[in-house]
Amino acid sequence: MPAHVAVIMDGNGRWAKKNGVPRLSGHKAGMEALKKIVRRSGELGIDYLTVYAFSTENWKRSDEEVGGIFKILVYYMEREIREIHRENVKVNILGDYTIIPEAARKAVEDAVELTKNNTGLNFNIALNYGGRDEILRAVRSIAEEARAGDLDPESLTEESVSERLYTGGMPDPDLIIRTSGELRLSNFLIWQSAYSEFYFTDILWPDFDESAYEEALRDFSHRKRNFGGR
């Protein structure tokens, strides 16, 4: 079983098109799929589940779609947070969520605060997250410490970068799942995925259910990981 599973939840728009409903209905259906995967991850004893909910590039979409995505997030958080808390899940946000719409910022801050002492599944939601942005922030913080004279560039290690990422202190993802048939990372966990296993499926995210998830985990369990060794 992987300790850390990361998921690129892609295909909501195509699911909506296929079903003849508005794009936002696809995002709503995606939230229902997410609920199932969070619950199953907790039941399976996975330590970390990280999901890509909104990228630093997703601002390019129409105001209507962006606004709708955050409204759906608020609705989901407000409706589900008690249940998530009862399941002992600890919510954490990856990305600069200070610039997302106010209601969404408040909803995620409340969720993080409510669940901060939980000891079950660590549920990371990547919101306004971009891997390059994350690395840039780490580099900037290192440069500032060096300028202040508090850090010797010679003493820098890979750990110095890792600990300054949003995932600081967490294990790297063992398995990265992407739904809907696209074969790319789209700026997700680009530093952390150096030795991750990838699993791609054509299933559209709203159709990704417990059995599809278990199939991905089964596939992972047969992988042979070398990490460069033998």
Is residue 80 a contact partner of residue 154, using CB atoms and an 8 Å limit?
no
Structure tokens at 117: 């002492």
**Helix/strand/coil (H/E/C) assignment for every residue in 125-186:** EEEEECHHHHHHHHHHHHHHHHHCCCCCHHHCCHHHHHCCCCCCCCCCCCEEEECCCCCCCC
The reply to whether 12 sits near ligand IPE by the rule CB under 6 A is: yes
Catalytic residues, by residue number, are 10, 58
The answer to the question of residue 55 lying near ligand IPE (CB under 6 A) is yes
With CB under 5 to 8 Å by kind, the binding choice for 43 among ligand IPE, Mg ion, none is: none
**CB closer to Mg ion out of 10 and 207:** 10
Among 2, 4, 13, 46, binds ligand IPE (CB under 6 A): 13
- State which of positions 175-194 bind ligand IPE (CB under 6 A): 180, 182, 184, 186
Please report whether residue 104 would count as binding ligand IPE according to CB under 6 A.
no
> 5: part of which helix (H) or strand (E)?
strand 4-8
**Residue 8 touches ligand IPE, criterion: CB under 6 A:** yes
Q: Rounded to an integer, what distance in angstroms lies between the CA atom of residue 42 and that of residue 202?
A: 25
Per rule CB under 6 A, count of chain residues that contact ligand IPE: 17
Instruction: Choose one: 7-15, 85-93, 101-109, 139-147; the region binding ligand IPE (CB under 6 A).
Output: 7-15
- The helix (run of H) or strand (run of E) holding residue 115 is helix 102-115
- Rounded CA-CA distance 156/69 in Å is 39
Q: How far apart are CA 84 and CA 89, in angstroms?
A: 6
From candidates 7, 10, 26, 27, binder to Mg ion by CB under 5 A: 10
**Among Mg ion, ligand IPE, none, what binds residue 53 when CB lies within 5 to 8 Å by partner kind?**
ligand IPE
Q: Check residue 71 for interaction with ligand IPE (CB under 6 A).
A: no
* 95 is a site residue for ligand IPE (CB under 6 A): no
- Cα dihedral sign for 52, 213, 28, 82? negative
Q: Which residues bind Mg ion (CB under 5 A)?
A: 10
Q: Which residues bind ligand IPE (CB under 6 A)?
A: 8-14, 52-55, 58, 69, 180, 182, 184, 186
